[in-house]
Structure 1
Amino acid sequence: MQVIIITGASDGIGAEMARQLAAQRGPQVSLVLAARKVSNLQAIASQCSTWGSPTLVMPTDVTVQAQCQNLVAAAVSHFGRLDALINNAGVSAQALFADVKAEDLGWYEDLMRINLWGSMWCTHAALPHLKKSRGHLVAVSSLAGLVGVPGRTAYSATKFAMTGFFEALRAELRGNGVSVTTAYPGVVATQIRYRGLNAQGLPAGSSGLKEDDAMSVEECARLILRGMQAREREVVMSSKGKIGRFLKLLAPGLVEKMALAALKDDVKPR
């Protein structure tokens, strides 16, 4: 039996990964579901239980290091081991940097605490157990962590930081048997951008990106889990993402135009 922690498991990609793992493996996988919304976690846990997967609901705010440590400790205490940590918790943001007032810049730091530090703290607590099981580490980053996206300076900064951290950690773990998979979703049909922050650090209530070709949550979750199971280094999910990554080296100006084209007209730089 494998024991897997998923942060940000109360909805969206995290909840769907939990459901897919339970549907695929049933009683062969034990799931530790972490997020702040307890009622949502309980609903997801109930769904997973229908496939026979044991679950543990852990209310967790990843911006608090002690709660990250407690999450891992509770998982190991309850199930006796840990085989994978999926760092999925995160918050989005959309704001032109010039539109953010100096007194509001504090939310940039808050975003870094959620998207980067939460992943680092959970990973630090989990690492000794993952070394024992020769398990898996997964970081759910974003294409905004490979290519800077206008209007998303704060979000790109946090996701680039995640990319750098897990790339360096992967090298450190060579020979330890722990795989590190970084996933780079593009636009996925979730509410993350609508719940993300605006220039004032308040919920945006809308998405600044064109979403006509958004990937389904089901497909995104499937690709991440497949990458984890195959111990892939990286999972770049869309053809645009793969092309943009290589064009960035050859024609960076063209990539900037592509990034601008992904924005809705009313949020483009003026």
Structure 2
Amino acid sequence: MKIFVITGASDGIGAEMARQLAAARGADAGLVLAARNREKLDAVAAECQARGAQTLVVVTNVSEESECRALVDQAVQQFGRIDALINNAGVSAQALFADVKAQDLHWYEKLMKVNLWGSVWCTHAALPHLVASKGSIVAVSSLAGLVGVPGRTAYSATKFAMTGFFEALRAELKSSGVSVTTAFPGVVATSIRHRGYNARGEPAGSSGLKEDDAMSVEECARLIVEGMNARRREVVMTAKGKLGRFVKLVAPGMVESMALAALKDDVRPH
């Protein structure tokens, strides 16, 4: 049996990865599902159990170091090992930096605690077990962690930090047998941007990005799981993302124009 710890597993990409792993592996999968909402976690766990997987639900706020370490401890107590840690928990945000008041700027720090530090703490706690199993680490970053996106200064900062951390860690772990896969989704059809912060640090209630061509959650989860199984270094999911990464090196101004074009007109800077 292989044991997978998935943060942000209550809905969206994390929940779909859990369902796909359960469907593919059945009784060979032990899924440790972590997020803040127990009711949603229990629902995902039931779906995975129906596909034959064993599950453990651990209510976890990854912005708290002690809860990240408790998550790993409970996973090992239950299953005796960890084969993969999928750092998927994250919070989005959409706000022009000039619109953020000084008294509200603290939510930038809150975003960093979830998107970066949650991954750092979970990875640090799980690392000895992953070295023992020669397992896999997955970091779900974003195209906003490769190209700075206007209106998403806070989000891009957290995802660039995440990208850099796991790139350095991959080199450190090269001889250990532990793989590090960083995934870079573009716009995916989830509610993450609706729940993300606005300029006041409140739930935005809507997305500031054009979502006509949003990737399905199922496709995004499949690509991440495939990347993990193949122990790939990176998973850049869209043709536009791959192009933007290359063009940034030779024509950065063009990439900035592409990023601006992804914003809805009513949130674009004037």
Q: Taking structure 1 as the reference length, what is the TM-score of the superposition?
A: 1.00
Amino acid at match of 2:155: Y
Partner of 1:139: 139
Flag structure 2 segments of 5+ consecutive residues without an equivalent.
none
Letter in 2 for 1:193: R
Identical residues among aligned pairs (%): 74
Give the distance between the partners of 1:52 and 1:74, measured in 2 at CA.
Answer: 21
Q: Which amino acid aligns with 1:224?
A: I
Superposition deviation, residue 123 in structure 1 = 0.1
**Distance in structure 1 (CA, Å) of the matches to 2:80 and 2:165:** 28
Aligned AA (1:43)? A
Q: Which runs of 4+ in 1 moved over 4 A?
A: none
Unpaired segments ≥5 residues, structure 1: none
Q: CA deviation at 1:146?
A: 0.1
Determine the structure 2 residue equivalent to 1:245.
245
Q: Distance in 1 between matches of 2:257 and 2:84?
A: 38
Distance 1:124 1:182 in 2: 16
Deviation sequence 1:103-131 (CA, Å, 0-9, x none): 10000000000000000000000000000
Deviation at 1:51, TM superposition (A): 1.1
Residue aligning to 2:71 = 71
Question: TM-score, normalized by length of structure 2?
Answer: 1.00
Given the alignment of the two structures, is residue 57 of structure 1 paired with residue 57 of structure 2, yes or no?
yes
**1:188-240 deviation line (CA, Å, top 9, x unaligned):** 00000000000000000000000000000000000000000000000000000
In structure 1, what is the Cα distance between the partners aligned to 2:66 and 2:171?
Answer: 27
Aligned position for 1:97 = 97
User: Partners of 1:52 and 1:234 in 2: how far apart?
Assistant: 30
Question: 2:122 — aligned with what?
Answer: 122
Separation in 2, partners of 1:63, 1:152: 20
- Mapped to 2, the partners of 1:178 and 1:67 lie a distance apart of 24
Cα RMSD, aligned residues only: 0.3
String of CA shifts for 1:16-65, please: whole Å, max 9, x gaps: 00000000000001000000000000000000001110000000000110
Letter in 2 for 1:178: V
Tell me the distance in 1 between the aligned counterparts of 2:49 and 2:189.
25
Q: Which residue in 2 is equivalent to 1:213? A: 213
